[in-house]
Amino acid sequence: MMPIDTERVEKSKSFLRRLWCLENEERPAFLISYVGPRVRGGRPIRSALFSTEGEDTVRERLLDPAKFLKAQLAEIDDQMSLRGDFVPCLCPAFGVINIPAAFGCEVVWWEDNFPSVKPLALGDPAKVYDLPRPTLSSGEMGRILDTTRHFIEKTEGRIPIRLTDIQGPLDSAALIMGHTEFFTALKTHPWEAHHLLQVVTDFTIQCARAQRGIVRGSRVEFVPSLFQPWIPDGFGISVSNDACVMISAEEHDDFCLPYLNQISDAFGGLYIHSCGNWLHQIPSLTKVRGLRGLEFGVSETPFAPVTEYFDGRIVLACRVGLHRDIKFKGMADYVATILKSKKTNRGLFINVDITNGLIDETWPETDLAEIYGLLGAD
């Protein structure tokens, strides 16, 4: 690993603190991530967390802390070679499996992708009352905490540690029961659904506090978000809320909002990620206590309507996303579209990234000088 430019990192932290305080009037924050296979003025950055390419298979990388650390350090080196508001961090995350595995779901370790879980074969939703309360040694949580300790030890605590993937109550509950069974239970067995959501919420808070305790107990900086950009500890915590696209705003009020608010209250705010098109959830999302920001793909949820409700009031962290229903002509078109749609720079974070997008040979080469010029970073 190359030596880290600490002066640059502190400058990025200072600017990103202002972003989270909605004080970055002069420009949006930005980060250059994976922009596609062809890059002018740099090289493609592969995510150690999300890329299926690399020296090892995804399975080998995740199950071997040394290989996982090596991949993340290589990504940090690549990221530091580019301009942007980047803060090097390490993240001991294995995808969506953490909470469901602790409740007894079988983990399937795929060779070239993140692991998945098999839902519990409950049959009767009332059986959720019989599920044992998980502990920090249940499922994969012990592995996550051990990986956290390994990262701290091998880097001598010099690099901040990110929050692992804790998903969110709605997502985890759907994975535990199975999406069809869970969303049916919202209508046929609402009390059972609420019970599962509550025990999931309790364990989610316990897991995040445990990891944070290990990191801070080692006198290492804890970054309470799985997602970019860097966020100061104490400004809240990130969760995923992908399953919200499958329910109504009224159901979100009933089955999601109370549990999001519990997590927000526990950590001083909430930074919510969601894939898909969640525009119909805006009325419910405005009721989240301490909502700090939203992280989303603007080829899934269009950016302009989101700005009508949230621009300048919270952090809006955008990336390209799936790139199926809404398409951009390339990275420059994506960045220019966001800049044209925004009403203010306050709270705007542009992640120049298409890691999870669908691109083919027609995706153009990205000229980083052009991107820097659009973002005012010449």
Rounded to whole angstroms, the Cα distance separating 320 from 354 reads 5
Render pLDDT for 315-366 as a digit per residue (tens, 0 to 9). 999 999 998 889 999 999 999 999 999 999 999 999 999 988 888 899 999 9
pLDDT (0 to 100) of residue 226: 96
Burial 91-108 (b: 16+ CB within 10 A, else e): bbbbbbbbbbbbbebebe
- Paired with 319 in beta bridges are 297
HSE-up (13 A, CA, CB side) for residue 360 = 3
Rounded to whole angstroms, the Cα distance separating 86 from 88 reads 6
Chain center to CA of 108 = 21
The closest of 321, 204, 183 to 260, measured between CA atoms, is 204
For 288, list phi and psi in degrees, rounded to 5: -70, 125
Instruction: Supply 170's token pair.
Output: 């709605």
CB atoms within 10 A of CB 117: 23
pLDDT (0 to 100) of residue 32: 95
Residues of the chain with pLDDT under 50: none
| 245 CB burial (10 A radius; 0-12, 13-18, 19+) | middle
pLDDT (0 to 100) of residue 340: 95
Quote the crossing angle between the two packed helices 190-217 and 179-188, to the nearest 10°: 120
The closest of 335, 236, 354, 364 to 28, measured between CA atoms, is 335
Render pLDDT for 23-78 as a digit per residue (tens, 0 to 9). 999 999 999 999 999 999 988 888 777 766 667 888 999 999 999 999 999 999 99
Instruction: Supply 231's token pair.
Output: 């966020």
